[in-house]
Copies of this chain bind each other. A is one copy, B any other.
Amino acid sequence: MRSFFSIIARDPSSAARAGLLRTAHGRVETPAFGPVASQGTVKALTHRQLRELGAQIILVNAYHLYLRPGPEEIARLGGVHRFISWNRPILSDSGGFQIYSLTPLAKVKEEGVRFSSHLDGTKIFLRPEDVVDIQVKLGTDIMMCLDTFLPYPASKEKMTEAVRLTTQWAKRSRARFDEQPTRQQLWGITQGGVHWDLRQRSIEELMDIGFPGYALGGLGIGEPKSLLLETVERACRLLPPDKPRYLMGIGYLADILEAVERGVDFFDCVLPTRNARNGSLFTSRGSMAIKNQKYARDERPLDEDCRCYTCRNFSRAYLRHLFERGEISSAVLNTIHNLYFYLDFFRKIRQSISSNSFKELKRNFVSKEVQTS
């Protein structure tokens, strides 16, 4: 297997590491945050804005694009990069999470998953092989295996079965993937919730298959924070040190710092973009609800330390006005700010690891959080 990942710096006092992820469409510095572009657009942003914010990779969703416009259409249009005109790396989530969360009657069988489209009820059956085929057609740089997913809490019995099936599907995904010559990468998703013995089994079985990257799925769905972090810590000790680790769907900055400290390399979450549209804005002094009346006369930028377009040009009073009026530009300006804040946060994390000051960055972040909460 070609080397898609190299570590360029390690934090001396923790398991945090900075690395470079190589894909067919360029490199991604890690720890990295992938903004979510489920339908092929980060909601409210143009690609130009996204590039200027420093996004090195985005996520699309195989489930959504499978339903519309469909993988054949996208393949006919030259693949997802060309279809959406984004020439940097793209990761596609397999859509497992969406199948289980958007179509509650999904039935998992040995062969695959049967569900009804959340759009029009059309019955669909997808095998792990199909999901590989879909993502090959999309032509994303990093594709994910179809996994099984259980809400929290799940019984040990059910979780045991979910882990077994996830491994079977990972094997079949890998076999299907290996049949086709492609510059894409297929990553595995481990399951097991916070049952360590099951998570361990899932990781070991996926390592036996061998993937260029490993994700931790089924976390951040209601389990206690301490169990989440313990699982992440043990998982990172067990996973191959030279492969990227992806903690799916975890988005709070405090959690991200804890996970980076334990050795996680890659994150995605709708939090910064969804919150932006809801008027919830991240700042270096905590989060703010822009609709609050107290901002109506506030001439300051959202965050006086922020260098984003929104903060360099607009007052809280104006941003509140746009939000209250339901203006589209409210979503745009808020998303620019929140995503800048996130991507800048990751830049600082990477710099701190390279300059042996990650612990200090984390301490400062925690003390600010305490001050403002």
Residues on A lying within 8 angstroms of B by beta carbon are 39-48, 68-69, 73, 76-78, 83-85, 277, 296-297, 299, 309, 313-315, 317-318, 321-322, 324-325, 327-329, 331-333
Contact = CB atoms under 8 A, between A and B. Distances in A.
Contacts of A331: 328
27 contacts: A39-B322, A40-B321, A40-B322, A41-B322, A43-B328, A43-B329, A46-B309, A46-B329, A46-B333, A48-B309, A48-B313, A68-B324, A69-B296, A69-B317, A76-B297, A77-B315, A77-B317, A83-B315, A83-B321, A84-B318, A85-B313, A85-B314, A85-B315, A85-B318, A328-B328, A328-B331, A332-B332
Contacts of A73: 296-297, 317
Contact of A41 (B68, B324, B329): B329
A25 to B, nearest CB: 16
A333 B22 CA distance: 31
Contacts of A39: 321-322, 325, 327
Q: Tell me the number of copies of this protein.
A: 2
B327 A43 contact: yes
Contacts of A44: 328-329, 332
Contact of A332 (B46, B322, B324): B46
A146 B314 CA distance: 30
A318 B324 CA distance: 30
A297 B70 CA distance: 11
Given A44-B332, A85-B318, 17 more contacts: A39-B322, A39-B325, A40-B322, A41-B322, A43-B329, A45-B329, A46-B332, A68-B325, A69-B321, A73-B296, A76-B297, A78-B299, A83-B318, A85-B315, A277-B328, A328-B328, A332-B332
Contacts of A325: 39, 68
Contacts of A314: 85
A81 to B, nearest CB: 11
A309 B46 CA distance: 10
Nearest to A43: B328
A324 B67 CA distance: 13
Q: Which of A41, A48, A322, A324 has the most CB of B within 10 A?
A: A41
Nearest to A47: B313
A73 to B, nearest CB: 7
A44 to B, nearest CB: 4
A323 to B, nearest CB: 11
A127 to B, nearest CB: 26
A310 to B, nearest CB: 9
Nearest to A84: B318
A347 to B, nearest CB: 22
Nearest to A336: B46
A114 to B, nearest CB: 25
Contacts of A322: 39-41
A308 B81 CA distance: 20
